[in-house]
A and B are shown apart, each in its own frame.
Chain A
Amino acid sequence: MRVTMDLELKDIPGQLVLALRPISELGGNIVSVTHHREKKTPRGLIPVQIAFEIDEARVDTLVSRLKDDGVVIAQIGRDRLRERAVVILVGHIVHSDIRDTIDQIDGTGYAEVNDLAMAMPGIEQYSSARLIISAIGKKELSNAMELLRNIAHEKGLLLIERVKTEVS
């Protein structure tokens, strides 16, 4: 998962390495570091913002190691459900129990339906829905999509997914 941290470091050499080392040692992947030597905090510390990818289970260990090393963590942001996909469903969505469809995705523990917009023009007509699905990582999102494909297939719904190619 993606984690962002606002740290406060002492203005002596070696502090940044001290803060970053445990992240790598715990298998994390640093995405960005911004270091503001010119903006000292009232306590005379230097604010540093870091963003990294790390296994969700290791965040707590990381936090306690940083604290042990004397690094001040001013704020921590965990962007748990980072990967997002939009899909459209067409068919008898309500009759085929949209609640159950959502519960099955949410029930995975690694993915959720974040947003649902529906249009139901008439009783006998097909409804259309737009779902936004979020997951903790790429692999989890692709598993959630596979689950959704199976659900759509079973319920006789048309599932419209995004094209594979990225915009360059």
Chain B
Amino acid sequence: MLKKVRILIVGFGVIGRGVARSISEKREFINGKYGIDFELVGIGEREGSIVCEKGIDPMEACMLKSLNEHPHWKEGAKAIDIIKGVDADIVIEATPTNIDTGEPGMSHMMAAFETKKHVVTSNKGPLTVAYTRLKKAAEENDIKFMFEASVGGAMPVLNMVRGTLQANEILGIEGILNGTCNYILTRMMTEGLPYEHVLSEAQELGIAESDPTYDVEGIDTACKLVILANSIFDMDISYKDVSVTGITNITSEALKLAYDDGYVIKLVGEIQNNNKPAVAPHLVPKDHPLAVGGTLNIISIRTDLAGEITVTGKGAGAVETSSSILSDLISIANEIP
């Protein structure tokens, strides 16, 4: 007997679509391996929503240029209303990150908790702004709240610490958590090109956004540290508690001088003991595990029993990130009676 698990996707951009596609492509695999069948019953977008209690074909929705071509599209139907009104088990929140207010994700998540729906998200905004409040609301409502995709994209961190490393005390974390910065610094070094040049190249390739501030100023990395600090180290901090230096002042000469002495420069986020979490460019020895290039992310976790554990993987991308989201979905679905 297949267990039917009803899901809502809120925010149908790169990630929302990627998740819909993976749910469709992995349907048989998940049916067979876990006895779970994810049924997409609603999609909430900015301009309207699709609701279909009998199930929406996720691939069909993905193929549409615009969701309003869908037969069940309701113009103006707000995502928050479908979260409250539609009968579903899990809400996937994938709206844009806003680190000042956490909105619209914040209200979406609170509405899901209040109406007893589990939440899986890739959205750092609400987690950065009000982690403790969200966690408490989820607990009070006896609801699961999972967000593996928000820190490392496809790269496992939170679930690995909670699961495989559960017998360990986590002593420190050091990692490269932003693929855009890693790409820029890697290219600047290998090609000897200046920052502005490589940035515009990255923008053309879609690796950097048209407004790259969030990535290159280290803000994105800092938000990820906030999530790690709160969820792994039980801290209660927000963005302002992180010391942040980005990569905009790094020169290609600095990269060359570092390289000549055996180092590469990487934007590293770290939480050490009880020090203030910090984001700053660091020298990384060329043969050090953290010296990964391209758009890769990597994290090194210092533990009391296992010693140093290092994982690397893609920090972004629709399909890659859906790996983490689907993993959270399956974990929750396994616990739904």
- Residues in chain A within 8 A of chain B (CB atoms): 86-88, 90-91, 117, 119, 121, 125-130, 132, 158, 160-165, 167-168
16 contacts between A and B (CB under 8 A): A87-B283, A90-B254, A121-B251, A126-B251, A130-B257, A132-B261, A160-B280, A160-B283, A162-B283, A162-B284, A163-B270, A163-B290, A165-B288, A165-B300, A165-B302, A168-B308
Residue of A127, A164, A168 with most partner-chain B CB within 10 A:
A164
Instruction: Give me the 5 closest cross-chain CB pairs, A-B, nearest first.
Output: A119-B253, A128-B254, A130-B257, A128-B253, A162-B283
A90 touches B251 (CB 8 A): yes
**Majority-rule SS of A interface residues:** strand
B308 near A160 (CB under 8 angstroms)? no
Residues of B at the A interface (CB closer than 8 Å) are 172, 174, 245, 249-251, 253-254, 256-258, 260-261, 263, 265-266, 268, 270, 272, 280-285, 287-290, 300, 302, 307-308
A86-B258, A90-B249, A163-B282 given; 18 more Cβ-contact pairs under 8 Å: A126-B251, A128-B254, A128-B257, A130-B258, A130-B261, A158-B250, A160-B250, A160-B254, A161-B282, A161-B283, A162-B282, A162-B283, A163-B266, A163-B270, A164-B270, A165-B300, A167-B288, A168-B307
How far, in Å, is A153 (CB) from chain B's closest CB? Answer: 11
Q: Pick the residue among B270, B283, B289 that contacts A167 (CB under 8 A).
A: B289
What is the bound-complex CA distance between A165 and B70, given in angstroms?
A: 52
User: What residues of A have a CB within 8 angstroms of the CB of B265 in the complex?
Assistant: 88, 160
Asked if A164 and B272 make an inter-chain contact with CB atoms under 8 angstroms apart, the answer reads yes
Q: Which of A129, A161, A163, A168 contacts B257 (CB 8 A)?
A: A129
User: Which listed residue (B258, B260, B270) contacts A160, Cβ 8 A?
Assistant: B258
- Complex interface: chain A residues within 8 A of B283 (CB): 86-88, 160-163
A163 touches B245 (CB 8 A): no
Contact B284 A119 (CB under 8 A): no
A117 to B253, CA, bound (A): 11
Cα-based distance from A121 to B290 in the complex (angstroms): 29
* Minimal Cβ-Cβ distance residue in A for B300: A165
Distance in angstroms from B181 CB to nearest chain A CB is 14
List, in ascending order, chain A residues with CB within 8 A of B282's CB.
160-163
